[in-house]
Structure 1
């Protein structure tokens, strides 16, 4: 986690969280209108009432789900980028970043951009050491659809996708350290993303506070404003 006394921390507030109160209020409004119609014996089909009750519940629960998410999704300092989630966090030091950008997939004769921010790293080990197990499990499940999209696009003639879905629970890092369990599974998923998309780590655009391309430009500005690191490491080369 970033040091609290570091006055150079920049926080990113996810844009989608701004809609949380709206969803809650809209859900309550639909519930109130439906209750009024029901109490006044307004002639509506039972199915219509059912849909209205369902819509109000879904909107309210969606708003509540957004409200319990941390108000900050990224904390950026001159030393590192920290991703924050209610299930945990991971950290990525600037000198460990090779590049960042928007992943793309083959679409006909061209490429289609995906709604994600990708990071290609020099060494995934510091990330898998820092990531909390609950967050690793969540990301493995939440990003399965992205893996499926990448496989359909980049490996259309592959008949067996088993190696990509039945991820082994053992991973040998570059340092010679063997990782087990969810750490190993997360590391292998990052390896698959690097193969298919060119990036090890991916963040959904919903965790950002602005358009992807605008965010990347802003991130580059933050990187250029960093103080030179004392150990002589060079800064990353970005897209």
Structure 2
């Protein structure tokens, strides 16, 4: 007798960045056509202004086109794990490997400043070492430079800590990790010391507001400990 595959309930998240991409492409193309239409009659009088507008239209269209290459699904949530998809790869974690989830925020002076990220603090950084693709690790090293710069400017990190560390990363069992994943793990530890989180989900990878999505992730993590397959 053949057993039936168990279907786990899941939540699929489509990134808002992809929707913005369509809007930017349409806007860029329409603006370009309008500019070219007017340029036929007034090119000699406003040549430099039209050249600037044409270049601006091309940049807008290009930015939109790049966003369209983002994966159709950015996050896949099931009772046992969370998977983050990126055009350069993915990472995957069991909910039990996550210690804390919250919106990234820092106190600047007397004000609390919220950053456009949801932070994930791991129980142990070893948990991500073998669950992230090499290409994504390499990409995130550079994509997270905005956080690094913010950390340096607000004295959360030193200039030395802001440098990419290419040394092997030693896991808790003594196993060395080399290459882009090692550099990513070093950077994740430094970001954890500065902001309190190892992983960062950008706000444009959600399909809803950052507060609502943060609550959703917390609920999924909480429910994972009590979920049972019937």
Q: Report the Cα distance in structure 2 between the residues aligned to 1:135 and 1:5, rounded to whole angstroms.
A: 30
Of stretches 181-190 and 161-170 in structure 1, the one that deviates more from structure 2 is 161-170
* Secondary structure, counterpart of 1:52 in structure 2: helix
| 1:201 positional shift | 0.7
* Secondary structure, counterpart of 1:130 in structure 2: coil
TM-score (norm 1): 0.86
Q: Report the Cα distance in structure 1 between the residues aligned to 2:32 and 2:6, rounded to whole angstroms.
A: 46
Q: Is 1:170 matched up with 2:168?
A: yes
Q: How many equivalent pairs are there? A: 224
Q: Is 1:191 matched up with 2:192?
A: no
1:10-159 pair list within 5 angstroms: 10-41=11-42, 44-155=45-156, 158=158
Q: Report the Cα distance in structure 2 between the residues aligned to 1:50 and 1:7, rounded to whole angstroms.
A: 55
| 1:56 positional shift | 1.1
Counterpart for residue 212 of structure 2: 214
Contact 2:164 2:187 in 1 (8 A): no
Q: Report the Cα distance in structure 1 between the residues aligned to 2:216 and 2:166, rounded to whole angstroms.
A: 37
- Give the unaligned 5+ runs of structure 2: none
Q: Report the Cα distance in structure 1 between the residues aligned to 2:7 and 2:152, rounded to whole angstroms.
A: 42
Q: Deviations over 1:45-87 (max 9, x none)?
A: 2221111101210111111111111011101111111110111
| 1:213 positional shift | 1.2
Contact 1:106 1:153 in 2 (8 A): no
Q: Report the Cα distance in structure 2 between the residues aligned to 1:10 and 1:39, rounded to whole angstroms.
A: 51
- Structure 1 residues 162 and 32: alpha-carbon distance in aligned structure 2, compared to 1, 3 A threshold: same
Q: CA RMSD in A?
A: 2.1
Q: Deviations over 1:175-222 (max 9, x none)?
A: 221111111101011100110000111111111111111111122232
Q: Deviations over 1:147-189 (max 9, x none)?
A: 1101221348x5xx12431413311111221111111101011
TM-score (norm 2): 0.89
Q: Report the Cα distance in structure 2 between the residues aligned to 1:67 and 1:30, rounded to whole angstroms.
A: 19
- Give the unaligned 5+ runs of structure 1: 231-239
